[in-house]
Structure 1
Amino acid sequence: MRIASRVIGGVLAVTLLSQLTACGSIFYPDRRGQIDGKIDPTIAVLDAVGLLFYVIPGLIAFGVDFATGAIYFEPGKTAQVAPEKLQEAIGADGKVDNAKLQTIIQKETGRTLPLDDPRMIQFKGSVQQLASLGLQPAA
């Protein structure tokens, strides 16, 4: 009997604590700082579930998500760089120079990407992908 009450108390505490931190701020930390936009229905529903079961934490979740802007969709920012300009970042041995690539991307798009981040995962492309862009394999 004692173990069951401890488990229930622990689950309740974790649930309340997670609602206090707000769903959108946890799931999409990169959305913080927005002041308006289209509301993400997924985050709104998750906050509403918190409101349904736990009124005060649900209100706090909504308040935090609206205050931080995490409840809004990201604005539709897209940027493209012509494949020909990216050729400058490929060395003679066929390897991509991240510093040159970062400079090209920043110059063309105005955005800085953390290409030197150790958590970045690089995927190798295929010959078919290069052909679809009109490029020839050069290594």
Structure 2
Amino acid sequence: MRIPSRVLGGVLVATLLTQLTACGTLFYPDRRGQIEGKIDPAIAVLDAVGLLFYVIPGLIAFGIDFASGAIYYPPGTTAHVDPAKLKPAIGADGTVDNAKLQAILETELGQRLPLDDPRLIQHRGSVEQLTAFGLVPAA
């Protein structure tokens, strides 16, 4: 059974067009304009697929992604919450109520953090940190 040449040509043109527009620029247009950062391996692999099948479009895809900055991860963001607002989440014995803490962080930061995730690693605070919150350390 022969595949019509028009169908084969259409698939080839579509593949070349997607490689020419570069994967990172297509998938993450909000990342454009960055000049450095950590390279997103998923985008690098997708661009490398273009190198395997079509060398010139693959090189163009890498060039576009590096030139536009779309191949880089977005810069990290940080957030700060006033320690006084965190006091209701800390019990008298120094234990942290994750439900209250999650509610406070959600209202202050505007995003939900998975504090009930079993992979969450909790660290104990020092005596100095407890006294900064006005709590009496319990032995």
Number of matched pairs: 92
Instruction: State the secondary structure of the residue aligned to 1:133.
Output: helix
State the TM-score, normalized to the length of structure 1.
0.57
Amino acid at match of 2:32: R
Gaps of 5+ in 1: 86-128, 135-139
* CA distance in 1 between partners of 2:48 and 2:24 (Å): 12
Amino acid at match of 1:28: Y
1:67 matched to 2:67: yes
Tell me the equivalent position of 2:21.
21
Identity of aligned residues (%): 75
Distance 1:76 1:132, change over 3 A: closer
Aligned-residue Cα RMSD (Å) equals 2.7
Amino acid at match of 2:67: A
- Superposed, 1:4-83 pairs within 5 Å as 4-79=4-79
Distance 1:63 1:132, change over 3 A: closer
Tell me the equivalent position of 1:98.
none
Partner deviation per Cα, 1:46-78 (whole Å, 9 max, x = no partner): 000001100000000000000000000011113
Distance 1:75 1:131, change over 3 A: closer
Amino acid at match of 1:65: D
Partner deviation per Cα, 1:69-121 (whole Å, 9 max, x = no partner): 00000111133567xx9xxxxxxxxxxxxxxxxxxxxxxxxxxxxxxxxxxxx
Q: Which runs of 4+ in 1 moved over 6 A?
A: none
**1:2 shift after superposition:** 8.5
* CA distance in 2 between partners of 1:3 and 1:67 (Å): 38
- From 75, 86, 103, the equivalent of 1:133 is 103
Distance 1:52 1:68, change over 3 A: same
* CA distance in 1 between partners of 2:44 and 2:31 (Å): 14
Distance 1:131 1:74, change over 3 A: closer
**1:5 shift after superposition:** 1.0
Distance 1:5 1:49, change over 3 A: same
